A and B are shown apart, each in its own frame.
Chain A
């Protein structure tokens, strides 16, 4: 017997029932024949006596009909009747749960899509990111030289394949205007490693992946729709990328967003490609697919062995290198994990508060229904039946609540998505069957969490006693469980508010930080370029100068400069510099953030010059300006100007550069990052990824169109793109920070509202129950102020106890927030005090209303009612 049959009710087998009844008729027939009837007559009489066979069968089958279904239906009907009878109670519970379950399901949908599901590639758990490291130099590039990648791919035994890529922005000029597109150059086997093939057309042919083979390009689904309006006949048409024609061979599926969601095209790089010293030029990002059953550690050990062999073979270039292998999913999502779990934690606290609230509501409800329940007991209903009916009521409420919650979640998903635009995989967040199932599970959990205690308590004890008395004559206004629940709500709300308060404080602190430059009225944009152009420095300089001249000559522009990487947005260019004049071994190494800018950068950004002069754009070796942090950290009490520095790891410029000036400290790598020692290398040389910065008289974006037109006149083949005020880039860089701050604040405010509703409800209930007592006391000469004070104190006492518990919880959970805060400690007393002050005020208001109502009781009225 299958295990599941255990859960099915036993059933009369039709065949068995037939033969059982036939036996009866046969026996009757025989008895009739024995009494002397003819066989036909005997049978006819037997059938007659037996009655309608079908009817008997039907009635027997009825015995086995699922009783649970019937009683569930009855329970559901009763529940619906109950809900209709008490609309305000039902609405409160449903709305509370809609908020709780809706917010929970929304955050869960993000967690599910980003953290739980595998990446959207076949057997995505086999995909890994491979990096090289130089243990002696933490800032050594983790990109990999193509030759080394080929060695790894050839020698390993743990990978199905290893492949590399890099991206650049290029200009596509078959349309009316040149358009910037993002191209990924991919090494052979790239799509094989991903396990993806084009939805339209074909993959690259082996010829296209050999040196000097025919050109080919695969385009993304997004680009196909945007540029070609999803034309299915486009295979074979050409794109002109930086002046060269590339025939389109296929379109990739919409889910293939690799290396990132901006990628428009993929072009093949032939194997064996290299520039200069092949083993020194590292520029591939390497991904690989493990063989089935191979673990990441195993693969890493395999590559480490291979790399040490290569190290012996090529001691100069490979001797110091080690390899790390990381699961691709891990590297994609690791940064967002804490934020998401933090949100999930807070949203679950919110749901818990909602549940607590509902328990309190149901408890007071159960007291009011004591009479009804007592009647049903005395009519013979068993306790189990009553509990199941009460639970059904709660379940119906929870179900409607979660349905409404899902609706809310879907309606607000666009807001969430725009807030969460900085998160990885955000395009994979959908409201699907899993989320609906999850919210269904939530409603079941909520039903038992909220419904069980009130149902058990409501049907407890000698309830027939309650028939004898009406609730009016009960004096008991003490309900410790309800007050305890209110306390819990307050404690949880304080915890959430404290978290939100800390995040808000650190946001406020960030807003107060002076970045060291003037970010207002700065417009930033990029120009399409490719790395091939960086070979001819002279031409590159002419190009950059011409662009900057044109910008400066545009009316409304005060100053223009370039910077590789946008200032104020996290980007690491840290590397060690060597001091040409020599440096004692005892002194710290020169670890420096290197920035490549035009000389006009300081003027454009309004970074003050503290000593010397701004770097000059010389025809010969470049010059360098350092910031104050550099001078203070590495040249304390010494003059730094006049020294020469040189790059060690081969990045930037090979030659030595003279330090000519000291600038003020600017927060170049993010507003939340303190300034680090920085060297500005003055070189008017744009490269892919360079930002053009323009200081404007008016609002920055108003200049975008003018600038675009001016540049089209002098550089018709390039596209100018990514126009944005610099201030916006700052705030985008803080996007994840803002997401969690906004959401946590929203959750916390909801939490405190719920807690107040709970406090208000419980106190109102207490007041109602004690109306008679209050009336008597007033009649006996009690002052109304005393009555108000008494109830107010009761409400505030519970709130205070909740606040104390909440303080403890907040202190204990502050650790969770560390690393997400700026300029404020996780146990910041000011924030916590403010939160508790706020909670006490709000709780005071919530208590005052029922307390005042209690004092308005008319003693005559109450006494007359007795």
Chain B
């Protein structure tokens, strides 16, 4: 069953976006596709959350955006990670791992 917007913690979406953008410049459509593909259709991001998140991250200076040609020749807005964003990604990733580790630890030991 796909996990929809309301179930996805906001911080988690930011982390996912940062991670995907870290792989190389990509537009909004591409980000939503990749999240779906990589999560094997488990995570489905609503555009109503994706675009505000992208713009918020851009405003914070973690993403940089520029207009360019998409693979099929259309004008698209490409996002890429800034130096600041790279640092943020690293810290959020380690946070997430700690949290996930702790949660699964609890889940395993508590039954």
Contact = CB atoms under 8 A, between A and B. Distances in A.
A68 interface: no
B80 interface: no
A695 to B, nearest CB: 88
B29 A27 contact: yes
Contacts of B74: 23, 26-27
B55 interface: yes
B48 A63 contact: no
A19 B75 contact: yes
B75 A23 contact: yes
A55 B5 CA distance: 15
Contacts of B47: 21, 24, 50-51, 56
B76 interface: yes
A242 interface: no
B77 A16 contact: yes
Contact of B55 (A24, A27, A64): A64
B76 A20 contact: yes
Classify the secondary structure of A's interface with B: helix
Given A26-B74, A28-B29, A64-B59, A20 B51 contact: yes
A60 B72 contact: no
Contact of A12 (B48, B55, B70, B76): B55
A60 B55 contact: yes
Nearest to B30: A27
A27 B76 CA distance: 10
Contact of B52 (A16, A20, A62): A62
A59 B51 contact: yes
B6 to A, nearest CB: 13
A10 interface: yes
Interface string B54-66: 0110010000000
Contact of A51 (B27, B46, B55, B76): B46
Given A23-B27, A27-B29, A63-B55, A52 B48 contact: yes
A558 interface: no
B59 A20 contact: no
B78 to A, nearest CB: 10
A62 B55 CA distance: 10
Contacts of A19: 75, 77
Nearest to B74: A23
Contacts of A23: 27-29, 70, 74-77
A518 interface: no
A48 to B, nearest CB: 11
Interface string A204-232: 00000000000000000000000000000
Interface in A34-59: 50-52, 55-56, 59
Interface in A1-17: 10, 12, 16
A59 B10 CA distance: 14
B72 A30 contact: yes
Nearest to A10: B59
Contacts of A28: 29
Nearest to B32: A24
Contacts of B67: 16
Interface residues of B, number: 19
Contacts of B76: 20, 23
Residue in B46, B48, B72 whose Cβ sees the most chain A Cβ within 10 Å = B48
A19 B55 CA distance: 14
A296 B2 CA distance: 86
A24 B70 CA distance: 11
B51 A21 contact: yes
Contacts of A55: 48
A17 to B, nearest CB: 8
A63 B75 contact: no
Contacts of A24: 27-29, 32, 47
B15 to A, nearest CB: 18
Contacts of B27: 20, 23-24
Contact of A59 (B28, B52, B75): B52
A441 B32 CA distance: 51
Interface string B66-95: 010010101111000000000000000000
Contacts of B77: 16, 19-20, 23
A318 to B, nearest CB: 79
Given A16-B77, A23-B75, A59 B48 contact: yes
Contacts of A30: 72
B43 to A, nearest CB: 15
A24 B75 CA distance: 11
Contacts of A16: 67, 77
Given A23-B76, A23-B77, A56 B55 contact: no
B48 A51 contact: yes
B49 to A, nearest CB: 8
Contacts of B29: 23-24, 27-28
A51 B51 CA distance: 12
A20 B75 CA distance: 8
Which of B28, B32, B47 counts the most chain A CB atoms within 10 A? Answer: B47
Contacts of A56: 47-48, 51-52
Interface string A86-105: 00000000000000000000
Contacts of B51: 20-21, 56, 59-60
A63 B56 contact: yes
Contacts of B72: 30
Contacts of A50: 47
Contacts of B70: 23, 27
A226 B26 CA distance: 82
Indicate the member of A20, A30, A55, A59 with the most B CB atoms within 10 Å: A20
A63 B52 contact: yes
A530 B76 CA distance: 92
B21 to A, nearest CB: 15
Interface in A303-348: none
A491 B22 CA distance: 64
Contacts of A62: 52
B67 to A, nearest CB: 8
A19 to B, nearest CB: 6
Nearest to A49: B47
B13 to A, nearest CB: 13
A33 to B, nearest CB: 12
10 contacts: A16-B77, A23-B75, A23-B76, A23-B77, A24-B47, A27-B29, A27-B70, A59-B52, A60-B51, A64-B55
Interface of B: 27-29, 32, 46-48, 51-52, 55-56, 59, 67, 70, 72, 74-77
Given A20-B27, A56-B48, 10 more contacts: A10-B59, A21-B51, A23-B27, A23-B77, A24-B47, A28-B29, A52-B48, A56-B47, A56-B52, A62-B52
Closest 7 CB pairs of A and B: A27-B29, A59-B52, A24-B29, A63-B55, A20-B77, A23-B76, A63-B56
